[in-house]
Amino acid sequence: MIRLNSHPSGRHFLQIPGPTNVPDRVLRAMDYPTIDHRGPEFQQLGKKVLADIRKVFQTAQPVVIYPASGTGAWEAALVNTLSPGDNVLMFETGHFASLWKRMADKLGLVSEFLGGDWRHGVDAAAIGARLAEDRNHTIKAVCVVHNETSTGVTSDIAAVRRAIDAANHPALLLVDTISSLGSVDYRHDEWGVDVTVSGSQKGLMLPPGISFNAVSAKAIAASAKSKLPKAFWGWDEIIEANKNGFWPYTPATNLLYGLSEACDMLFEEGLPNVFARHKRHAEATRAAVHGWGLEILCQNPAEYSPALTAVVMPEGHSADAFRKIVLENFNMSLGQGLSKVSGKIFRIGHLGDFNDLTLMGTLAGVEMGLALAKVPHQTGGVLAAMESLRAAAAQPALRAA
């Protein structure tokens, strides 16, 4: 047996922005013996999770569940809707938007990447302008990331939809919600998204291993004409088999047990309360960051992520050295800066199965780590966060959203 927590005592604080802390209820649900994926008990399970997950995406349309991690769902969204050489318009919100663009290129698409500074969300106006120029409709899809996990910036998807519509452009809208689904209000149908990509290991509070494509009728129509080769990712056979609660190949049964339980938990709390909770924790976290006198990577308050907060390290200090000190001394994993911001930022995940006191432990670990790492900062960010949480607690109406 591998030692999964090298610290001698106490629970690990997994405060990367995903995978997130898996609730005990979900772990226990996943721990049951695997059943026959072609039998009646499975069928009941399949129908339940397929109905549940639609509610989470706020959609009445099909959601395809893959026995694969989130990166696969990115690929699925592309290969089901597009053909070799198709143009796709993407927006550089950060590392994950860049990876998705790179994937599009690998798959034989021709991507156009609208540049961003990693500190703001998608510029819907820029997308609208570019589409307006595209008179011949050579752009077949617009791909954006709802919550950029590498920067802590949440984009306005409804605005992107409006921009596409204003340009009267037929491009499909593909959205990555891997780190927002189940944490941030997201409306697949209302916002007119064609394919929403997501994964299990963030707001859904599951281990990694299953991922999702919520699809529109327009996306399904596109898939009938799409020429990129596909087999494992093909929507058609899955959607067909799903009608009876089954899958065309072996699904990740035990993760579906977990999904069923996780959805139960989300619905028991109520999605609006879930979203309000994430906002409350994000606000308290920012209060702490401001208290420390540090800078938040996201520069537009309207785009602050409810799921994570990326913090800029003062010049001359390594975020990774700081993170190592925190891990070794306080048994907490914080998210690293990725590619362009490697070493320059650290990320605090405050999503998934989480509560006020766990957040306070998290923020105390950051504050103590800053001191140990001799990073210039002001003491007392933790007090500001407590003040924020306390104020929210005093107004239960706020808590309940």
Ranges within 200-259 binding a copy of itself (CB under 8 A): 201, 207-210, 228-232, 234, 249-255, 257
Residue among 128 and 291 whose Cβ is closer to a copy of itself: 291
Binders of a copy of itself among residues 354 to 383 (CB under 8 A) are 354-362, 364-365, 367-368, 371-372, 379-380, 382-383
Nearest partner of 63 among 255, 270, 242, judged by Cα: 242
- Rounded to whole angstroms, the Cα distance separating 75 from 371 reads 43
In DSSP notation, 237-286 reads HHHHHHTTT--SS---HHHHHHHHHHHHHHHHH-HHHHHHHHHHHHHHHH
- Rounded to whole angstroms, the Cα distance separating 83 from 229 reads 8
Residue among 5 and 300 whose Cβ is closer to a copy of itself: 5
Beta bridge partners of 66: 211
Q: Which of 176, 194, 261, 283 binds a copy of itself (CB under 8 A)?
A: 261
Kindly indicate which of the ranges 125-133, 159-167, 270-278, 290-298 contains the residues binding a copy of itself, using the contact rule CB under 8 A. Answer: 270-278
Binders of a copy of itself among residues 285 to 314 (CB under 8 A) are none
Kindly indicate which of the ranges 41-49, 120-128, 163-171, 311-319 contains the residues binding a copy of itself, using the contact rule CB under 8 A. Answer: 41-49
Could you tell me the two tokens for 154? 């949440």
> Exposure of 60 by Cβ count < 10 A (0-12 exposed, 13-18 middle, 19+ buried)?
exposed
* Beta carbon of residue 306, minimum distance to a copy of itself (angstroms, whole number): 13
- Rounded to whole angstroms, the Cα distance separating 263 from 360 reads 26
Could you tell me the two tokens for 81? 């809707």
Q: Which of 222, 310, 327, 345 binds a copy of itself (CB under 8 A)?
A: 327
Residue among 30 and 222 whose Cβ is closer to a copy of itself: 30
Binders of a copy of itself among residues 21 to 40 (CB under 8 A) are 21-24, 27-40
In DSSP notation, 132-160 reads HH-TT--EEEEEEESEETTTTEE--HHHH
* Beta carbon of residue 210, minimum distance to a copy of itself (angstroms, whole number): 8
* Beta carbon of residue 90, minimum distance to a copy of itself (angstroms, whole number): 14
Indicate the residue type of 335.
Answer: G
β-sheet with 308-312: strand ranges across? 13-15, 332-336, 345-349, 308-312, 295-296
First CA to last CA distance, the chain: 44
Residue among 6 and 136 whose Cβ is closer to a copy of itself: 6
Binders of a copy of itself among residues 58 to 117 (CB under 8 A) are 66-72, 74-75, 79, 84, 102-103, 106-108
Q: Which of 129, 159, 241, 265 binds a copy of itself (CB under 8 A)?
A: 265
Per DSSP bridges, beta strands 87-91 and 139-145 are parallel
Residue among 176 and 303 whose Cβ is closer to a copy of itself: 176
* Beta carbon of residue 24, minimum distance to a copy of itself (angstroms, whole number): 6
> Exposure of 357 by Cβ count < 10 A (0-12 exposed, 13-18 middle, 19+ buried)?
exposed
Q: Which of 112, 134, 295, 353 binds a copy of itself (CB under 8 A)?
A: 353
Residues 6+ apart with CB under 8 A from 83: 140, 225, 226, 227, 228
Q: Which of 64, 294, 332, 341 binds a copy of itself (CB under 8 A)?
A: 332
Residue among 61 and 329 whose Cβ is closer to a copy of itself: 329
* Beta carbon of residue 202, minimum distance to a copy of itself (angstroms, whole number): 10
β-sheet with 139-145: strand ranges across? 63-66, 211-215, 195-199, 172-176, 139-145, 87-91, 110-114
Residue among 131 and 386 whose Cβ is closer to a copy of itself: 386
Residue 136 contacts a copy of itself per CB under 8 A: no
